[in-house]
Amino acid sequence: MVRSEAPPEDGRLRVLIEAVLPEIDAGAHPVKRVVGDLFTVSADLIADGHDVLGGALLYRRPGDDDWRTTPLRELVNDRWEASILLDALGTWQYTVEGWVDHAATWRKHLKAKFDAGAFADLPVELVIGAELVAAAARRASGAEASQLHQLAVRLRDESVPIDTRVIMALADDAGQVLAAHPERDRAGRYPRTLAVTVDRPRARFSAWYEMFPRSCGAPGGHGSFRDAEERLGYVADLGFDVLYLPPIHPIGTSFRKGKNNTLTPLPDDVGSPWAVGSPEGGHTAIHPQLGTAADFRRFLRAAADRGLEVALDIAFQCSPDHPWVAEHPSWFKQRPDGTIQYAENPPKKYQDIYPLDFESPDWWQLWQALRDVFLHWIGQGVKIFRVDNPHTKALRFWGWCIGEIRRDHPDVILLAEAFTRPKLMYALAKLGFTQSYTYFTWRESAWDLRTYLEELTSAPVVEFFRPNFWPNTPDILPDHLIGAGHGAFALRLILAATLSSSYGIYGPAYELMDNLLRPGSGEYLDNEKYELKRWDLTRPDSLRPLIKRVNKIRRENPALHDNRLLRFHPCENPALLCYSKRTEDRTNVVLVAVNVDPRWKQGGFVDLDLAELGLSGGPFHVRDLIGNGRYLWHGARNYLELDPASVPAHVFVIEPT
């Protein structure tokens, strides 16, 4: 006989656990959910032979040391699942166990023999069973222990007729109490512990409004937080819930950009807020013309009073005047000529910006300083951050930093502003960003939109990447909005607000349909990044009524609070895009039809997936929440016609008759 080392685990473990879902990259990253979600975990339980198996979902709530368990139920083809209610913020852990249920196997065999009249086998079967029941009694306590103990005694009691004993063994309540106390000593365990990040609901459902507070002042003057307070009522009335401010820090003067991104600023040019830092301070300071720390806290409270939560922009880059440049020269890349390496994308130069050097020998000091920027603003009361260009900072830094923030502040939300390669965008989301910018801004055709949304709403992406759709930003005036009118702006707003449960606009540029491009730049003419802007909020052609209506529809229809149950319905006209969203229980079903052609009226038949909509094939009403029409439809095939000159979309709720 060849000698070998015994394997490290008990060879009698007969159940393998495979293919636990949800899981991302072999458990390297958590999946994402929000408080109140029912979280369903499924797995394959695989064992030799034909014995009855049992299994449990093991989970730890935040702060738990020990596992809690809930039983798995069997589906088909060796697939099992269980669900738990996620009722606390933070990081939960989970894994799966499975075992051979000898008591259930014994009951199955006993029943087969009894039903087949194999009575000669029954006495020994009852003795075998009595041992299994007695063992379960030892694992139970209280009334259940007594019940199992008595059952074990009676199964052996030869004064009781044998068929009575068999019937006792096969009784449903005996099965239930046995199943509640399985023998788990030899349970197989999934080899990995997985995690789910539980956020507050706003992580998934949010409407953002981006605004420059410095443009809120009196004509010709630099606006302050006090001035911006006056604007809060307007933004709240539009129905937004997150008010996002570009960086509020002192702005550098070295190589400051002038109006329209020129290199020759005038003395009164205000500079780009993203050129962070001056002798007056860096990432934890406030631009003196915006106000004091107390003014800022007052602004946060005033916003909160109107149902608005303020989001700050965190842009980890420094103007040459930032205090860190002198205090921590090792955090920047030094060139052999003694200068600091400015940002560049050769041959382009951005000399007003010094990038931080994540390959610095002092990286650990740098990481902590950057983390502390977040903690500073959290201390001031900010819980939402839009992070500028996270894809140009080291990925491992983000994984660490977001973990540090969330450890004590699981209610913090971080939006990644990355427009870069797809896998890098996904990597940032996996590493912990709560929400992400997307390619929506450039997706125009119905086919492009459908393909992209199907990717975003399918596993694995839907498990970790929460899209936030922006029709415009201060950096981006997309081609389809250049010189465009009401139809195109309305179209892109409705798409963003109904395709994605989180969306945002840069205003008032959006509602006032700012559509002028500085030639050759891809940016707005007279871009607010480089100058103070005056916006006439009272203009009669403002999109304000439509935006207000759309945000109200979003709030009132829970179907629009998530993206997971987005489904597309085929249209014969490729200019029409039709999709539905619904709640799990289909008590709220929203059907959206959009004409993605901003110029011409388009019509055609749509083939509805009636089962998805919870319809049986008979007549039903669709009520338009934008246009207020109400239509009686019959069956799956229905005609639609949409004219961008009026409203380019229907947003229906389904009302079964």
Residues labelled as active-site residues: 388, 417
Helix, strand counts (H, E) of the chain = 16, 29
Give the closest residue to 367 by CA, choosing from 332, 343, 331. Answer: 331
Name every residue whose Cβ is closer than 8 Å to that of residue 64 and which is 6 or more positions away in sequence: none
- Which of 135, 394, 546, 565 is close enough to bind its own copies by CB under 8 A? 394
Q: Which is nearer to its own copies, 152 or 369 (CB)?
A: 369
We find the least distance from the C-beta atom of residue 361 to its own copies, in angstroms, to be 8
**Omega into 273 within 30° of 0, i.e. cis?**
no
Would you tell me how many other CB atoms lie within 10 Å of the CB of residue 520? Answer: 6
Answer for the pair 86, 36: CB distance below 8 angstroms, yes or no: yes
We find the least distance from the C-beta atom of residue 415 to its own copies, in angstroms, to be 17
Distance (Å, whole) CA 78 – CA 45: 6
Contacts of its own copies in 305-344 (CB under 8 A): 335-337, 339, 344
Contacts of its own copies in 160-189 (CB under 8 A): 186
**Interaction of residue 372 with its own copies, rule CB under 8 A:** yes
Tell me, residue by residue from 73 to 102, as one string, x for binding to its own copies by CB under 8 A and - for no binding. ----xx------------------------
- Which of 409, 421, 552, 637 is close enough to bind its own copies by CB under 8 A? 421
**What is the Rg, in whole angstroms, of the alpha carbon atoms belonging to the chain?**
31
- Which of 149, 154, 192, 623 is close enough to bind its own copies by CB under 8 A? 192
We find the least distance from the C-beta atom of residue 502 to its own copies, in angstroms, to be 24
We find the least distance from the C-beta atom of residue 549 to its own copies, in angstroms, to be 40
We find the least distance from the C-beta atom of residue 582 to its own copies, in angstroms, to be 31
We find the least distance from the C-beta atom of residue 391 to its own copies, in angstroms, to be 6
**Largest alpha-carbon pair distance within the chain?**
107
Contacts of its own copies in 114-143 (CB under 8 A): 115-116, 118, 124, 127-128, 131
Q: Which is nearer to its own copies, 8 or 220 (CB)?
A: 8
Q: Which is nearer to its own copies, 371 or 518 (CB)?
A: 371
Give the Å distances, CA to CA, from 9 to 59, 183, 280, 408, 506: 23, 17, 63, 37, 59
Q: Which is nearer to its own copies, 8 or 219 (CB)?
A: 8
DSSP state for residue 205 in the 8-state scheme: S
**Where would I find the H helices in 278-362?**
293-305, 323-327
Tell me, residue by residue from 10 to 49, as one string, x for binding to its own copies by CB under 8 A and - for no binding. -xxxx-x-xx-----xxxx---------------x-xxxx
At residue 235, φ and ψ (nearest 5 deg) are -70, -40
Answer for the pair 598, 644: CB distance below 8 angstroms, yes or no: yes
- Which of 264, 345, 628, 657 is close enough to bind its own copies by CB under 8 A? 345
Per the listing, tokens 């990355």 go with 418
Answer for the pair 636, 478: CB distance below 8 angstroms, yes or no: no
We find the least distance from the C-beta atom of residue 548 to its own copies, in angstroms, to be 40
- State the sign of the Cα–Cα–Cα–Cα dihedral 430, 431, 437, 439: negative
Give the Å distances, CA to CA, from 594 to 446, 448, 516, 622: 9, 14, 25, 15
**Interaction of residue 154 with its own copies, rule CB under 8 A:** no
At residue 45, φ and ψ (nearest 5 deg) are -110, 115
- Which of 36, 191, 522, 618 is close enough to bind its own copies by CB under 8 A? 191
We find the least distance from the C-beta atom of residue 383 to its own copies, in angstroms, to be 17
Give the closest residue to 363 by CA, choosing from 335, 331, 385, 388. Answer: 331
- Which of 67, 234, 342, 363 is close enough to bind its own copies by CB under 8 A? 363
DSSP codes of every residue in 411-439: T-EEEEE--S-HHHHHHHHHTT-SEE--S
**Interaction of residue 218 with its own copies, rule CB under 8 A:** no
We find the least distance from the C-beta atom of residue 323 to its own copies, in angstroms, to be 15
Q: Which is nearer to its own copies, 98 or 277 (CB)?
A: 98
Phi-psi region of 14 (alpha: psi -120 to 50; beta: other; left: phi over 0): alpha
Q: Which is nearer to its own copies, 124 or 218 (CB)?
A: 124
Q: Which is nearer to its own copies, 168 or 375 (CB)?
A: 375
**Interaction of residue 396 with its own copies, rule CB under 8 A:** yes
**# chain residues binding its own copies, by CB under 8 A:** 72
Contacts of its own copies in 425-484 (CB under 8 A): 427
Which range of residues in 265-273, 314-322, 358-366, 489-497 is near its own copies by CB under 8 A?
358-366
- Which of 80, 377, 397, 437 is close enough to bind its own copies by CB under 8 A? 397
What are the strands, taking DSSP E only, across 230-273? 242-245
**Interaction of residue 346 with its own copies, rule CB under 8 A:** yes
At residue 413, φ and ψ (nearest 5 deg) are -115, 130
Q: Which is nearer to its own copies, 404 or 624 (CB)?
A: 404
Distance (Å, whole) CA 436 – CA 500: 11
For the chain, the straight-line distance linking the first and the last C-alpha, in angstroms and rounded, comes to 77
Q: Tokens for 94?
A: 């989970």
Which range of residues in 2-10, 157-165, 445-453, 477-485 is near its own copies by CB under 8 A?
2-10
- Which of 81, 144, 280, 404 is close enough to bind its own copies by CB under 8 A? 404
Q: Which is nearer to its own copies, 1 or 266 (CB)?
A: 1
